[in-house]
Structure formats: structure tokens, C-alpha cells
Structure 1
């Protein structure tokens, strides 16, 4: 069963997909958010193309565990996805995933220009991998 991971942002959505066994996450693409609703169409296409049966959306919580305005936007986005796709959509705590993705890319000496293009995809991979790891421990 394949699962799609999303790192939702104002301008871009990082996308990752699991392998068929749900063991590993791989960065897939970054969706540029240009027109209203276009991002939903692209996600629906990816779900269909990859045979995805579940979606995980990163939920940015504050460090104290509360949900702020950014988190509320992600929750509304996840609800819209659930209605559109008619498959399970889960929210997953994404605290520090973007920071971790930036740090990994810096340590790999990736240029600033290239980092901008892949950091969202990498954050989506981290969100999805953390979710997959939690499922395997149950």
C-alpha cells in the first residue's frame, strides 16, 4: 500500500511517496502553488498515478504542542483533500522537519539555489518516513 507525504506551504508543497510495502519514503516532486485549486488537481493526479491509498500531511505544531494559525491552515487543507480524494488523510507532527532538511542539505554542501528546489521535497520525505516508522512500531 503506497502512502503520499505532503509538506504543505504557502508557495510550495513538497511531495514524497512510500514504496509498495510502506517501509521507505522517497522525495517525489515539489508542487508550485500558482492558481487556486491547481495544487489539488496535481495531488489527485499523483495519487492516481502512484496507486496511493493514504495521504499524510505535515502538521506544524508550536514547540509546546499547541496548534497555531499555520497548523489550522494545514488542517483545513487536509480536510479538503479528504473530501476530494475519498481516501484516508492523516495529519502528522512535522516539528523541525524543514530545519532538519536544511541542516542535512547544508552538511551535504548543496548550494543555496539547489537547496531551495529540494528542501520541501526532503521535508515531505522526513514527514512520511517518520509516519511510516511509527506504523511499523505498532
Structure 2
């Protein structure tokens, strides 16, 4: 079974989701606090090994008009480093409004406590990124 790691890259936190490519299903996994890059890559490498990840899918943020933002460039640099540090295929998908969509889903289905915890939003955004990838590969 091929496991895929979905990543919602943020300036403070990185939301993670696990997915199964054969079933096109994904689940919230974890939120990493962004410290220095080296400890972040060590943590990601441990997760990849522990979960036997075969592929990574990361959301690329853009302005609504399609233009790149400062965060877009940061994510592209992050992808290059992921490739060199982990040696896995890293694919990208458009992540337009995934955090907004995640917050909307939590508002309609979860307690206020879950909504206040930004980690839940980050993980759900990573799930939405993975689901978007799965929809394009069917």
C-alpha cells in the first residue's frame, strides 16, 4: 500500500496528513511547529521512515489571480530541500484557499475548541491538499 504525506506549509506551522493512494483516502496526521529548518527536516525524515511514505504532496500557495507570493517562493525552496534531504518524489498542487476551506469545515462540524486550535486547521488543510491530488490522479 503506497502511503502519501500531504503537507500544508505555513510560516509558523506545517500541517501533515497521511493518505493511501490506492484508496484515495486521507486523514489528519500531525502539526509540526516550525523551528529551524534542520530540526524540521529531521522530524520529517523520522515520519517518512516510521510511516513508510513513498511520495510527498505539498500545496503551493498563490494569490487568487494566480500570481506567486513570497510564500510561494518559500514553498518552492522548501520543496527543493525536501527532495535533497528525503530523496522522495515531491509533487505540488494548487492550495488556493485550503486553510479557509478547512476552517469552514471545522466551523460547520466541530466544537469551538477544535476551531480555536490552529493545529486542526493545518492538518485539515493538508487533508484537502491530498484529496485534491487524489482527484487529479483518478
TM-score (norm 2): 0.92
Label 1:26 to 1:81 Cα distance change in 2 as closer, same or farther (>3 A).
Answer: same
Q: Which residue of 1 aligns with 2:17?
A: 16
Q: How does 1:38-49 map to 2 (within 5 A)?
A: 38-49=39-50
1:19 CA drift (Å): 2.1
Paired residue for 1:125, among 114, 124, 127? 127
1:26 CA drift (Å): 0.7
RMSD (Å) for aligned C-alpha atoms: 1.5
1:59 CA drift (Å): 0.3
Figure out how many residues of one structure are paired with residues of the other and give that number. Answer: 136
Q: Structure 1 residue 59 and structure 2 residue 41: aligned? A: no
Label 1:112 to 1:92 Cα distance change in 2 as closer, same or farther (>3 A).
Answer: same
- Bigger CA drift: 20-29 or 63-72? 20-29
TM-score (norm 1): 0.92
1:107 CA drift (Å): 1.1
Structure 2 residue matching 1:37: 3-state secondary structure: helix
Q: Which residue of 2 aligns with 1:111?
A: 112
Q: What are structure 2's unaligned runs of at least 5 residues?
A: none
1:22 CA drift (Å): 4.9
Q: Show CA shifts across 1:6-43 (max 9, x none).
A: 00111100000112625111110000112331111111
Runs of 4+ in structure 1 displaced over 6 angstroms? Answer: none
